[in-house]
Structure 1
């Protein structure tokens, strides 16, 4: 489950995770632990370019991962929607330590820039890529519920 839902995504996360456009998708991006800004700072960033405009850096050697198997399941019993995706595996990853991953909505996977990526959720993670395969288990990466 996420540690942070970015302000720009509040109220829109279930819609964006339903992947409403023809070439859209969700992408998982690793952030370096060194220089990682606080949740209070990050939550106000409105696109991924802004996320990495301060001291927060993308951990680029592990690469970005498109999320597959994305589902939005309505839970009438608990009055919420659960958002899930397939687990993500990195093969022989190396590089700087990772302090978090961010799931972003990409409105067009065929074009665009980091300024087009809408950050949805941040997940704290302590991982040092050491050449061994690493699988990140994703289960209900976010839940959205009514405040009523």
Structure 2
């Protein structure tokens, strides 16, 4: 589950996750462990371009992954919404150590830049790509509850 929900995504994350537009989607982006900024700093970033504008760097050698089989489940019993996606696998990955992954909403997967990607959640990961396949479980990547 998420270690951080970005401030700009609070209250909108279920809408983004439901993928309401024609060419939108969710993308998982690995971040290098070296230089990774604190949650207190990252939570105020409004776009993925902002996320990597400081000392935080994308781990580009393993690559970004689109999230598939995304579901939004309303849980009336626990008064929350659970957001889920299929697990992600990297085949024979190499490169710098990964300290976190960020799930971003991409409003148009056919074009755009990092300034268009809206960071939704950050998940702490401790992984050094060593050429062995690596799978990341995305079970309930975020739960949103209300206490009115």
Same fold (TM over 0.5): yes
* Structure 2 residue aligned with 1:6: 6
CA drift of 1:108 comes to 0.2
CA distance in 2, matches of 1:72, 1:145: 13
CA drift of 1:7 comes to 0.2
CA drift of 1:16 comes to 0.4
Any gaps of 5 or more consecutive residues in structure 2? Answer: none
CA distance in 1, matches of 2:94, 2:41: 28
Q: Which runs of 4+ in 1 moved over 4 A?
A: none
TM-score by length of 1: 0.99
CA distance in 2, matches of 1:145, 1:109: 29
User: What SS does the aligned partner of 1:112 have?
Assistant: coil
CA distance in 1, matches of 2:67, 2:40: 26
* Structure 2 residue aligned with 1:58: 58
User: What SS does the aligned partner of 1:121 have?
Assistant: strand
Count how many residue pairs are aligned between Structure 1 and Structure 2.
Answer: 148
* Structure 2 residue aligned with 1:134: 134
Q: What CA RMSD, in Å, does the superposition of the two structures yield over aligned residues?
A: 0.3
* Structure 1 residue aligned with 2:74: 74
* Structure 1 residue aligned with 2:28: 28
CA drift of 1:147 comes to 2.5
Any gaps of 5 or more consecutive residues in structure 1? Answer: none
TM-score by length of 2: 0.99
